[in-house]
């Protein structure tokens, strides 16, 4: 069982389309799609499931900031620069990656986890 929603073609179909179930992490059907006039209805279901999962999953990682916590490190043309919003900063998947990349950057004072 995965933490994500998956798509499965169901045996139900109508004159104009087929049904695809979106299955939650507990194995229960969370939605049913009526896919009309498609060569591969299960693929359509997978695309919808991927969109749901991408929007539902919290974005995690770390950003690095200055001593005041008002500026955040980003990269522009291969050079470090400061941005005003943490959402615009370079996001590192692991804290250790942020620490390694910026270990010699004397202007960086904090590594902050980001949850969204």
Q: For the segment 44-92, what is each residue's pLDDT rounded down to a tens digit? A: 777 777 766 666 655 578 899 888 778 999 998 888 899 998 888 998 8
Q: Is residue 47 part of a domain?
A: yes
Pairing of strands 29-36, 72-76: unpaired
Whether residue 37 lies inside any domain: the answer is yes
Domains: count for the chain? 2
The answer as to whether 52 is a domain residue is yes
Separation in Å, CA 84 to CA 43, 74, 93:
40, 10, 20
Residue 107 counted as domain residue: yes
49/65 same-domain check: no
Judge contact between 46 and 104, C-beta under 8 A: no
| Within a domain: 1 | no
| Residue 41 belongs to domain spanning | 6-56
Q: Is residue 83 part of a domain?
A: yes
Q: Are residues 44 and 67 in the same domain?
A: no
* Overall pTM surpassing 0.85 (yes/no): no
Give the pLDDT confidence score for residue 13 in this predicted structure.
Answer: 57
With respect to residue 108, please indicate whether it lies within any of the assigned structural domains: yes
In this structure, the answer to whether residues 38 and 73 fall within a common structural domain is no
Residues in the chain: 116
């Amino acid at each position: 069982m995965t933490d994500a929603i998956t798509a499965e073609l169901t045996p139900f179909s109508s004159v104009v389309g087929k049904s695809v179930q979106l299955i939650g992490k507990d194995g229960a059907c969370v939605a049913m799609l009526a896919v009309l006039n498609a060569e591969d209805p299960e693929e359509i279901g997978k695309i919808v499931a991927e969109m749901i999962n991408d929007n539902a999953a919290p974005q995690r990682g770390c950003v690095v900031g200055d001593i005041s916590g008002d500026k955040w490190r980003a990269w522009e043309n291969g050079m470090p620069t400061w941005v005003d919003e943490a959402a615009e900063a370079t996001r590192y998947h692991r804290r250790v990656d942020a620490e390694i990349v910026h270990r010699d950057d004397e202007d960086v004072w904090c590594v902050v986890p980001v949850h969204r």
